[in-house]
Amino acid sequence: MQLSEKELGGVHILLIEGRFDAHTSTPATEWLEEKSASTGARIVINFSKTEFIDSVALASLVSAMKRCRQTDGDVVLCELSKPVKIIFELTRLNRAFQIYETEVDAMVGYGI
């Protein structure tokens, strides 16, 4: 798994390339934990290059989203690849997260 991060207008954006699963999730999970620890953290996860996601990875996203929402922040998702989209639909977590077609839409969603 490869991570590319950037920050735009106070929004933390993470692009996850490759597999995001129990065996590879630690760096992304640690990144999520670090960013979501700030009050009102606004995070975008870009899944356009994510080949696979499992329930362990989903759990780390849910935890980060909960932490962010407790302080009026959020974790939103964008550009879900097909395998990622299937897992979100299977777990119905697509209804709990805000999901955008593009990274730009996600930024607009944050009012950037």
Partner 1 sequence: MLSDKLRIAVVTTFPPGTGSLNEYGFHFVNALRQKFDDVSEVLLYVDALPDGEAYPPFEPDSGIPTTIIPCWEFDALNNATRILKTARQTKPDMVLFNLQFATFGGKKISASLGLLTPALLQMWNIPTVVLLHNIMETVDLKSAGYAGNGIVERVLRCFGYIATKLLLRAELVALTIPKYVEILESKYKADNIVLAPHGSFDDTVHQPVFELPEGPMQIMTFGKFGTYKTVEPLIEAFEKLQRRPNADLELVIAGSDSPNAKGYLAGVAEQYKHVSNIRFTGYVAEEDVPIIFGEAAAVVFPYTSTTGSSGVLHQAGDYGKAVILPNIGDFAEVITEEGYTGEFFEPEDVDSLATAIANVIDNPDHRRAIGQQNFLASHGIPIAEIVDWYLLHMQTLLMQKPNRNGPPTVDRTQLA
Applying CB under 8 A, the residues found at the interface with partner 1 are 22, 55-56, 59, 62-63, 65-70, 72, 74, 90-93, 95-96
Comparison of 48 and 81: residue with beta carbon closer to partner 1: 81
CA-CA distance, 103 to 91, in Å (whole number)? 23
Minimum distance from residue 49 beta carbon to partner 1 (Å)? 23
Helix (H) or strand (E) run with residue 56 in it: helix 55-70
Rounded to whole angstroms, what are the CA distances from 51 to 1, 18, 37, 39, 82? 9, 5, 27, 31, 8
Minimum distance from residue 4 beta carbon to partner 1 (Å)? 26
Comparison of 3 and 56: residue with beta carbon closer to partner 1: 56
Comparison of 82 and 95: residue with beta carbon closer to partner 1: 95
